Structure 1
């Protein structure tokens, strides 16, 4: 196991949550389109809705009240799904990082299974306005307002149902993307929190520093490209301008929101000056191997203009660690032992 594999595993959990959010919005779009279609069937004349007929007896207002209630239920469901997912991501991130740090440092560090109460306390955003309810409430209000506007404008413009359905699809997709951005941002924050908690405990037994690793694509913001491959300072922080953080999405400073939203960067942990990796039959913590790996990463970044992540992956394929005979404990065995001790 290495840190890239841990990140890939957590990514899959995050992607499943994004899929769940997609399904909520897809299902709701179909329901709303059916509602609007019924309005056309009842009140249309020559394929158009009459503004007068639709507003008669507060018909449109009643339909919008139903839609608003449906979205209230949807966002409550999203919050529940996201909360459960974040708790799962925290546990997996914490335990897998703890396992890797303990095994590569070759010393028992006394890790235990975190309780549900402890996880929820850690995940609670200290800023009252940044809890999941507070973040998603304006999103819910915005989509209800936007759908009201789209339906009203479509009726006034004399549009048929097909055009109206497209309006609704665009409105829902816009809100879908914003909700998924919240999922990604909160997932990244939890990933950083779980890693920091594991590191905090491991620092009692080993020297651990951090290295910033950006994503592979061109969507990475310029500030994070500049941080790519850089290490934490003597106080354990990454800095950018007047901002500082111990890990991605945990920024403190005047630009904290801009540096955090939608961030996909991660923090690699360097244990006793080496990149941790633990597998059966191989000594990834061999000093000679680690030196060759570091030199190759530096050369690839300089000669081929690769990101740190790209250079790391390529160097790991090119350089092999020495073989070693030793007792090996899988993550599943280690995790089972912790559960029995808890």
Structure 2
């Protein structure tokens, strides 16, 4: 087993979580469209037109919108549960796989015991308020409720037919699903990095010399601050420091004023160095975004190497 195999297994777990989230929003779209269909059937005239006055009679529209809001609140509760469960599974799998590598490499028993669920939850609990899961989902919930209310109410006021409003709702909930999956991917990646870090701490405490190295993805999409962080080496308990001023123990866990911009969709990795031994090669992306293996170098050297025609 190697790091690439671990990443692939974790990616499969994240992909499964994304499917579960897609299912939640697909079912919610179907439910909203049924509500909208029933509303149109009740208030349409003989030509199929819906009047704003008629739809507001007996407070019909607000009652339906309130019902939709209540159901979406329940959806976000489901999604929070899905993501938390995913984090716990990813943490455990990543922890065990990294421990396997460490024990095989050092030929030493490092893992004291398989982590209990309470230990995993404690490890995943974030001390930084503005990157916690529930507040993030709460903000998303408010935005999607506003979009849905506007899609329906403004469409009816403009005299639009069912088809146009349904199209906008599909687009809005499609965007919402993408946002929820982005959160799930960020949280899944954070769980994997946390497990990798915690297992490295166990290795260090067993008496093995351990350092950690920030590894950015070597391609054009890597954000500038993470290019600067690439290759930064610190002790196991020390923090990495980004040019933005954010700090943290590992990628996807930086804190500070710009933490969201540093953590969301971060593709960086944490490399654990045992007894000072750096690898001879690392992965990068070529101009066609294909994965390639190159001699080990930092992002700055990689950039110069590419500009120089990739000459040896």
* Normalised-by-shorter TM-score class: 0.7 to 0.9
- Decide which of 208, 211, 226 is 1:209's aligned counterpart: 211
Please give the TM-score of this superposition, normalised by the length of structure 1.
Answer: 0.78
Match of 2:241 in 1: 239
Q: CA 1:249–1:44 in 2, change beyond 3 Å: closer, same or farther?
A: same
- Structure 2: segments with no counterpart, 5+ residues: 283-292
Match of 1:113 in 2: 114
Checking the alignment, whether the CA contact within 8 Å between 1:238 and 1:245 is kept in structure 2 is yes
Query: Take 1:217 and 1:90, find their aligned partners in 2: how far apart are those partners?
Result: 27
Q: Displacement, 1:295? A: 8.7
Match of 1:58 in 2: 59
Higher relative contact order (CA 8 A, sep 6+): 1
Q: Displacement, 1:130? A: 4.2
Helix, strand or coil for the counterpart of 1:187? helix
Checking the alignment, whether the CA contact within 8 Å between 1:98 and 1:111 is kept in structure 2 is no
Checking the alignment, whether the CA contact within 8 Å between 1:47 and 1:161 is kept in structure 2 is no
Match of 2:164 in 1: 163
Tell me whether 1:27 sits opposite 2:22 in the alignment. no
- How is 1:3-152 mapped onto 2 (pairs within 5 angstroms)? 3-45=3-45, 46-128=47-129, 130-152=131-153
Query: Take 2:224 and 2:281, find their aligned partners in 1: how far apart are those partners?
Result: 29
Please give the TM-score of this superposition, normalised by the length of structure 2.
Answer: 0.85
Helix, strand or coil for the counterpart of 1:137? helix
Query: Take 2:281 and 2:187, find their aligned partners in 1: how far apart are those partners?
Result: 36
Q: Displacement, 1:255? A: 2.3
Match of 2:286 in 1: none
Q: CA 1:137–1:254 in 2, change beyond 3 Å: closer, same or farther?
A: closer
Aligned-residue RMSD, C-alpha: 2.6
Helix, strand or coil for the counterpart of 1:211? strand
Q: CA 1:199–1:86 in 2, change beyond 3 Å: closer, same or farther?
A: same
- Count residues with an aligned counterpart: 292
Query: Take 2:295 and 2:190, find their aligned partners in 1: how far apart are those partners?
Result: 31
Q: CA 1:91–1:149 in 2, change beyond 3 Å: closer, same or farther?
A: same
Helix, strand or coil for the counterpart of 1:248? coil
